[in-house]
Structure 1
Amino acid sequence: MEKSLVPTQIEFRSVTKTYGPVAAVKDVSLKVHRGEFLTILGPSGSGKTTTLMLLAGFEAPTKGDILVAGKSVSAVPSYRRDQGIVFQSYALFPHLTVRRNLEFPLEMRGVRAAERTTRVDRILERVHLSDLCDRMPSQLSGGQQQRVALARALIADPPILLLDEPLGALDRNLREQMQGEIKSLHKDFGITTVCVTHDQEEALTLSDRIVVMREGRIEQTDTPEALYDRPASRFVANFLGEANILENPGFHVESAAPQPLGTLAMIRPERICVFPINKTKLAATDQRQSVIGTVEDMIYAGPLRKYRVRVGNSLLMVREHVASGQEIFRPSDEVRLEWLRSDIRFVAA
């Protein structure tokens, strides 16, 4: 179904939140489609967590309105909003077993004992915790506690799931495993999900769309692919991955399209190929740009090798996947860099 035809589940209408003279969120307007996984991404102080707290009902807008399924919820307290919430700290009840943690929200909704047992057994199996149902939270690993928190948020079948830095407390390997688990759960349950994170990889992996915030405002909203490949501003280009901003580079930048006024040329590091200076140029040279530079640094990062290459006034970052038989360049080596002119993007300064 076309995204434009999917009903809007959540809508922010010119929402502002101030704390005294400080505006944490400034005139934010946003629509979240039913069943969508939307991530709010930004650095510390960008307003992303405040935006989520407004949606959760822990804060009230100073101006504007928030609608869920077409009805205003700005004055509705958090406990009366039909939503599941997962916090970075998990917020499990430490004195209750896994099973009792999952039964609690159903008890609060008046679900009968037999139905509670059925639902808990079903979701324990879904998150692979059936064998751990009688353990206390302190007896679980971080990843297991995270799965319990997700299961508790989902067990009452809420129409909306809110995730506040859900994987921030996990190490890298567990974080990657849980990204897959969250993605799978979202696909299975189809719940409209709003996630807040500062982790760019997490946002790119999980999201249908990403909202990038800066200083309380929305800088850009788009799909992960569009945001990464076509960032609207220098801030988005630098925040979402690495970017070579070609500002007064010291060489003429060739591109497939004219450069709009007030913009800067940009190219992603993985779009640049690095060769020995005497190697035959790639085919279709009329579609490519070639420059000569000097390697200043080489960084080995497991599956990737990163070079910093001085070209004119610019220090370009080049990123390539490590492969057997690949030539390795060292500091002071002269190299030739090539890229497609069509890979040059233009961003607002």
Structure 2
Amino acid sequence: MTLHQKSTPLRIAEEKDLENRPDSPRIEFCNVTKMYGAVAAVKDLSLSVHRGEFLTILGPSGSGKTTVLMLLAGFVVPSQGDILIAGKSVASVPSYRRDQGIVFQSYALFPHLTVHRNLEFPLEMRGMRAAERATQVDRMLNRVHLKGLGGRMPSQLSGGQQQRVALARALIADPPFLLLDEPLGALDRNLREQMQGEIKSLHKEFGKTTVCVTHDQEEALTLSDRIVVMRAGQIEQTGAPEALYDRPETRFVANFLGEANMLDAVGFKVESDVAQTSGTVAMIRPERICITAPAAAKRADANCRQFAMGTVDGMIYAGPLRKYHVRVGSSVLIVREHVASSQQIFRLGDEVRLEWLRSDVRFVAA
């Protein structure tokens, strides 16, 4: 598919023909490629985002995820292919003519304007009357828990407060869709967790079709209806958070989305409830493995489990979790368990028994 040379700006009215098809994609990438010289940042990308969906594009640096967002925002133009919003081509429509809300990692607030003026600005650009603008701003400030802070400058706010202002500004003009570029990357862990809850709440309330780009796996799992994992400019796997985490298709996805134990060097045949296919390797998540003393009594479902003896190579205490590194054969397996007062704690050099349900073993492309 070639790049359309003529296009019109997106208007909400243009979506009326889709109202009776709620499952129709709001955003479509059709065989999109973006070249920078001889380097393809995005290669032949085809992807649909549905109405009201929170879709996260996840991947390491250089995977092409940010380029996808920049293409959708209109900051860069595809080298090949087309981008459709509500069935209309926008591939050649500049960013300022697209009806969208954008939140950047750096917040991108106007430093010389008060919080109130930052929120008022997009409404003013749309020709809204002053009295109505003031009402809308007050309502939005109250919604993002910043009531009474409209007169402050951005520099007088904390990072979390600035991020709330950025979200409010992106939503206040009621755009059809919302773009989030590493929205929580500048916040510390506690603030990130708070803002994850706030973003999830805002998405539920406003129902905006949202595309988020991040390299934070926890953020993607927490916020998303669906996750797209990218690698080297292409989609590696797409699915619901639970599906991607529990049933990764490749070694890359298994290792990138959380921690994974590859069982190809444990020194024994790995058993599973499903047959292994050619070119795959057995994998199990760390929290699916139980660690016990060698002489501990076996569980009632022992006939459904596989057992392995190993030696503790290390232990990391992380508050609610305890992580063990256990050498089994030529592999070091990670075991992650929730801390409880009655647990036995194993130390470096201890002999231990590992066990897991055969149904928890997955096979991924090597």
- TM-score, reference length from structure 1: 0.98
Alignment-derived partner of residue 297 in structure 1: 314
- Post-superposition Cα deviations, 1:128-169, rounded to whole Å, max 9, x if no partner, equal 111111000000000000000000000000011000000000
* Aligned match for 1:200, one of 196, 202, 217: 217
Alignment-derived partner of residue 80 in structure 2: 63
| Equivalent position amino acid for 1:137 in 2 | P
Within the alignment, does 1:335 sit opposite 2:344 as a pair? Answer: no
Within the alignment, does 1:144 sit opposite 2:161 as a pair? Answer: yes
Equivalences for 1:219-298 in 2 at 5 Å? 219-298=236-315
Alignment-derived partner of residue 115 in structure 1: 132
The 3-state SS of whatever aligns with 1:99 is helix
- Post-superposition Cα deviations, 1:190-211, rounded to whole Å, max 9, x if no partner, equal 0000000000000000000000
The 3-state SS of whatever aligns with 2:193 is helix
The 3-state SS of whatever aligns with 2:148 is helix
Distance across 2 between alignment mates of 1:42 and 1:65: 22
Distance across 1 between alignment mates of 2:302 and 2:64: 46
Distance across 2 between alignment mates of 1:202 and 1:187: 16
Distance across 2 between alignment mates of 1:302 and 1:225: 24
* Aligned match for 1:187, one of 204, 207, 211: 204
Within the alignment, does 1:53 sit opposite 2:70 as a pair? Answer: yes
Distance across 1 between alignment mates of 2:290 and 2:299: 10
The 3-state SS of whatever aligns with 2:281 is strand
Q: Would the aligned equivalents of 2:308 and 2:328 in 1 still touch at CA under 8 Å?
A: yes
* Aligned match for 1:18, one of 27, 35, 41: 35
| Equivalent position amino acid for 1:293 in 2 | G
Alignment-derived partner of residue 79 in structure 1: 96
Moved over 3 A (4+): none
* Aligned match for 1:212, one of 221, 224, 229: 229
Q: Would the aligned equivalents of 2:261 and 2:285 in 1 still touch at CA under 8 Å?
A: yes
Distance across 2 between alignment mates of 1:120 and 1:226: 40
| Equivalent position amino acid for 2:72 in 1 | L
Alignment-derived partner of residue 325 in structure 2: 308
The 3-state SS of whatever aligns with 1:323 is coil
Question: C-alpha displacement at 1:178, in angstroms?
Answer: 0.4
The 3-state SS of whatever aligns with 2:292 is strand
Distance across 1 between alignment mates of 2:125 and 2:316: 54
Q: Would the aligned equivalents of 2:83 and 2:91 in 1 still touch at CA under 8 Å?
A: yes
How many residues in Structure 1 have an aligned counterpart in Structure 2?
346
Distance across 2 between alignment mates of 1:200 and 1:181: 18
Distance across 2 between alignment mates of 1:290 and 1:17: 49
Within the alignment, does 1:125 sit opposite 2:146 as a pair? Answer: no
Distance across 2 between alignment mates of 1:343 and 1:5: 36
Distance across 2 between alignment mates of 1:243 and 1:26: 28
Alignment-derived partner of residue 347 in structure 1: 364
Gaps of 5+ in 2: 1-20
Question: C-alpha displacement at 1:5, in angstroms?
Answer: 5.7
Distance across 2 between alignment mates of 1:114 and 1:157: 18
The 3-state SS of whatever aligns with 2:113 is coil
* Alignment RMSD: 0.9
Question: C-alpha displacement at 1:248, in angstroms?
Answer: 3.0
The 3-state SS of whatever aligns with 1:280 is coil
Distance across 2 between alignment mates of 1:254 and 1:40: 34
Question: C-alpha displacement at 1:313, in angstroms?
Answer: 1.6
* Aligned match for 1:9, one of 5, 11, 26: 26
Q: Would the aligned equivalents of 2:265 and 2:329 in 1 still touch at CA under 8 Å?
A: no
The 3-state SS of whatever aligns with 2:116 is helix
* Aligned match for 2:60, one of 40, 43, 62: 43
Identity of aligned residues (%): 78
Q: Would the aligned equivalents of 2:32 and 2:78 in 1 still touch at CA under 8 Å?
A: yes
Within the alignment, does 1:325 sit opposite 2:342 as a pair? Answer: yes
- TM-score, reference length from structure 2: 0.94
Q: Would the aligned equivalents of 2:22 and 2:51 in 1 still touch at CA under 8 Å?
A: no
